[in-house]
Amino acid sequence: MNDTVKYLLDEPRIPKSWYNLMADLPSPPPPVLHPATHEPVGPDDLAPLFPMSLIAQEVATERAVEIPAPVREIYKLWRPTPLYRARRLEKALDTPARIYYKYEGASPAGSHKPNTAVAQAFYNKEAGVKRITTETGAGQWGSALAFAGALFGIEVQVFMVRVSWDQKPYRRAFMETYGARCVPSPSNETASGRAVLAKDAQHPGSLGIAISEAVEVAAGREDTKYALGSVLNHVLLHQTVIGQEALAQFEIADDYPDVIVGCTGGGSNFSGIVFPFLGIELRGGRKVRVVAIEPAACPSLTRGKYAYDYGDTAHLTPLAKMYTLGSAFTPPGFHAGGLRYHGMAPLVSHLKELALIEARAYHQTKCFDAGVQFARAEGILPAPEANHAVLGAIEEALKCKEEGVSRAILFNLCGHGHFDMQAYIDYFAGRLVDQNYDEGELAMALAGLPSVRAA
Ligand SMILES: *Cc1c(COP(=O)(O)O)cnc(C)c1O
């Protein structure tokens, strides 16, 4: 084996179908409920927001969902993504562990998000949709959807959280290059945006508010739908190309992961790499330890409550049972913008309830220490979100060293950090602060959870 091994698969090894974990779960996750009636939502409730094909995937139970040929054709622009053996990092850590990482930063938008953006744009195009609205926090999802919209000739309108809009002009220019229209959120273009601005004209915005705005616009227009970049079942489904490729690549490498580590914001990149391996375990095959890493400043899996909650601030979305900090929760400032969501994907939350996965929370400074160590050993500069996974993998590798055992550790390097250099500038200047969330604010947000009968 070379020093750095890049297991590239030939083209036919790009998966032909997405893997649906629903088929192998010992019990299904609780149903999603209508926000007004608290009855399970039906396809018609979601029809104003999503094309029927995606709604069908939201509740699909078959194990394999075919990837449409045009989507697979576009995947070939960057898939399969490489699986690397981190030999130099292993050496730097002086660990007997075998560390592998799947590099999703190889996509045109620089993260795993185009895996679902392209699929969602395809199904919307097929349904005759002219415009897609969405929200973006750090800008990764907006960039991915803007890229996908350009390929399928669909207009994309992105509500970008105001602080990111101010701090990340390059992200906005990136989206505009693909032809998307960006609006800082809260904005004057929606009732939910105007309501927030009326109370605070300088409001920095939040993902929850931006979702409300994007949903409001889509619900009010016949030719417009909404797209979400994480959390929902169909998004997690599309991401499973990551883990399926990794399985094939491990076969070529003649190895198998003992531990898989991923960072979790809404849970999609984590699910993408983990679900195919968990499926094997659930079907009676080889077991794998799975560790989700989240930011200590927004710790839904480790400090949240498993309860029904809204996906957005204005409570326009259905209720999903998930680990949540409360839809009113606003995390303190930290640099991993993609990990600032108040809830966790219902499917990932369900796995935590079933004790099929573990979760840990880290503060950002330690994550950047790990990211810089990784960049100096392996050459790739990770996104601040990905730094959480890097640290998780390093901790597992150091545990191997302590115990004197060699285990295979796989982590998802979900994106590069080339648009996040201000975060690195702040890190090197010693300006990163590890802020704890406000306990009082969390208690208040949790007290505001909707009461749902028999939940
Ligand atoms: C969006 C994003 C995340 C968080 O979203 P998940 O759905 O949890 O994957 C993490 N890393 C990167 C690079 C992202 O762009």
Ligand 1 centroid to 269 CA: how many Å?
A: 6
319-370 pLDDT, tens digit per residue, is 999 999 999 998 888 888 889 889 999 999 999 999 999 999 999 999 999 9
The atom number, within ligand 1, closest to the CA of 230 reads 7
pLDDT at 453: 76
**pLDDT greater than 50 at residue 6:** no
Is 47 part of a structural domain of the chain?
A: no
Pocket perturbation via mutation, ligand 1, pick of 158, 241, 263, 298 by most ligand atoms within 8 A of CB: 263
- On whether residue 249 sits in a domain, the answer given is yes
What whole-number distance in Å separates Cα of residue 174 and Cα of residue 139?
Answer: 9
* pLDDT tens-digit series, residues 371-427: 999 999 999 999 999 999 999 999 999 999 999 999 999 999 999 999 999 999 999
Does residue 310 sit within a domain?
yes
Helix (H, G, I), strand (E, B) or coil at 285: coil
pLDDT tens, 211-263? 999 999 999 999 999 999 999 999 999 999 999 999 999 999 999 999 999 99
Q: Where are the alpha helices (DSSP H) in 222-363?
A: 233-239, 241-253, 268-282, 300-303, 346-353
DSSP string covering 21-36 = GGGG-SSPPPPPB-TT
Cβ of residue 264 lying under 6 Å from some atom of ligand 1: yes
For 86-188, list the strands marked E by DSSP. 98-103, 131-136, 155-161, 181-185
CA of 339 to the centre of ligand 1 (A): 7
CA of 25 to the centre of ligand 1 (A): 24
Per the structure block, which two tokens stand in for 335? 């640099």
- pLDDT by residue (tens digit) across 196-205? 999 999 998 9
Give the pLDDT band of residue 1 (cuts 50, 70, 90): very low
Domain hosting residue 272, numbered range = 4-9+69-110+235-447
In this predicted structure, the answer to whether residue 3 has a pLDDT above a threshold of 80 is no
Which residue owns the Cα nearest ligand 1 atom 15?
A: 140
In a domain, 244, yes or no: yes
Residue 332 belongs to a domain with what CATH number?
A: 3.40.50.1100
Tell me what pLDDT residue 107 has.
98
Q: What is the mean pLDDT of residues 444-452?
A: 95
* Residue 15 located in a structural domain: no
Number of domains making up the chain: 1
- Least Cα distance to 265 among 331, 341, 164 occurs for 341
CB atoms within 10 A of CB 155: 15
Residue 114 confidence (pLDDT) above 80: yes
Rounded Cα distance between 409 and 256, Å, is: 9
Nearest CA to ligand 1 atom 7: 268
Cross-strand bridge partners of residue 408? 98
Kindly state the tokens that stand for 11.
């083209």
Residue 221 located in a structural domain: no
**Core vs surface per residue 87-104: b (16+ CB within 10 A) or e:** bbbbebbebebbbbbbbb
Give the nearest ligand 1 atom to 383 CA. Answer: 13
pLDDT score, position 2: 42
Tell me the CA–centroid distance for residue 112 and ligand 1, in Å: 7
What is the model's pTM?
A: 0.96
Residue at 315 is within a domain: yes
Distance in Å, CA 166 to ligand 1 centroid = 20
Q: What region, left, alpha or beta, does residue 203 occupy, with left being phi > 0 and alpha being psi -120 to 50 degrees? A: beta
Write down the pLDDT at residue 450.
95
pLDDT exceeding 90 applies to what percent of the chain?
Answer: 89
Q: What distance in Å separates the CA atoms of residue 304 and residue 192, rounded to the nearest whole number?
A: 26
Using CA atoms, how far apart are residues 307 and 411, in angstroms rounded to an integer?
29
Query: Counting atoms of ligand 1 from 1, which one is nearest the CA of 104?
Result: 13
The pLDDT value recorded for residue 424 is 97
- Residue 165 covered by a domain: no
What gap in Å lies between CA 277 and CA 308, rounded to an integer? Answer: 28
Confidence of residue 4 (pLDDT cuts 50, 70, 90): very low
